[in-house]
């Protein structure tokens, strides 16, 4: 076979192969591309949720009195949990406060700059108990959720949106 004959047979075969490859590439589309990028960031930034409360408390004799103040920009509902050592009794009671499970809920909506009614926690300890201790109050608040009629209630509050504040007060030694 001469050089001319070889080229005559080879060129059409190469052209056919290139055409088939081009058509095949059109059929595959975007699946041929893969992009990977890595990034790293550091630092911090203060996030303001627009709702927050402060815990105010005082201890007199064996009673810890707790009030909550709405320091945020929207009305909120609030609840507290009370923690004390196993040997220490902590019995809360207060007007507009309701216990449900492990939480004490303030039944009223706390307006901006509003303060809750006091929750009085009577603390008892055995006479032989000589260690110092803390009665810890963990407070959570959540913004008020309004229905189509513009009403709200503690029962419709969304507690997955809580802002948390903790306050501990060391007990007296006997």
For 63-113, what is each residue's pLDDT tens digit? Answer: 999 999 999 999 999 999 999 998 999 999 999 999 999 999 999 999 999
CATH for 53-170, options being 3.30.110, 1.10.3470, 1.10.760, 2.60.40? 2.60.40
Q: Which residue has the higher pLDDT, 44 or 169?
A: 44
User: Domain locations in the chain?
Assistant: 53-170
Model pTM score: 0.64
Q: What is residue 5's predicted lDDT score, i.e. its pLDDT?
A: 67
Q: Which residue has the higher pLDDT, 162 or 36?
A: 162
Q: What is residue 156's predicted lDDT score, i.e. its pLDDT?
A: 83
In this structure, which long-range contacts are made by residues 142-149, counting pairs with CB atoms below 8 Å and at least 24 apart in sequence? 142/51, 142/76, 142/77, 143/50, 143/51, 143/72, 143/74, 143/75, 143/76, 144/74, 144/75, 144/76, 144/77, 144/109
Q: What is residue 36's predicted lDDT score, i.e. its pLDDT?
A: 61
169 pLDDT more than 80: no
- The total number of residues written for the chain in this structure: 174
Q: What is residue 84's predicted lDDT score, i.e. its pLDDT?
A: 92
Q: What is residue 173's predicted lDDT score, i.e. its pLDDT?
A: 35
Q: Which residue has the higher pLDDT, 137 or 157?
A: 137
Q: Which residue has the higher pLDDT, 150 or 170?
A: 150
Q: What is residue 174's predicted lDDT score, i.e. its pLDDT?
A: 29
């Amino acid at each position: 076979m001469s050089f001319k004959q070889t080229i005559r047979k080879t060129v059409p075969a190469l052209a056919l192969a290139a055409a088939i490859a081009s058509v095949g590439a059109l059929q595959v589309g975007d699946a041929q591309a893969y992009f990977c990028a890595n990034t790293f960031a550091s630092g911090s930034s203060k996030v303001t949720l627009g709702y927050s409360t402060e815990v105010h408390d005082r201890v007199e004799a064996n009673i810890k009195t707790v009030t909550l103040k709405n320091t945020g920009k929207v009305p909120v509902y609030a609840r507290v949990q009370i923690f004390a050592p196993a040997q220490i009794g902590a019995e809360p009671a207060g007007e507009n406060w309701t216990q449900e499970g492990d939480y004490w809920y303030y039944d009223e909506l706390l307006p901006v700059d509003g303060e809750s009614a006091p929750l009085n926690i009577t603390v008892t300890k055995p006479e032989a108990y000589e260690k110092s201790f803390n009665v810890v109050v963990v407070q959570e608040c959540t913004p008020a959720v309004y229905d189509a009629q513009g009403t709200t209630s503690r029962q419709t509050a969304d507690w997955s949106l809580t802002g948390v504040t903790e306050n501990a007060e060391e007990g007296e030694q006997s």
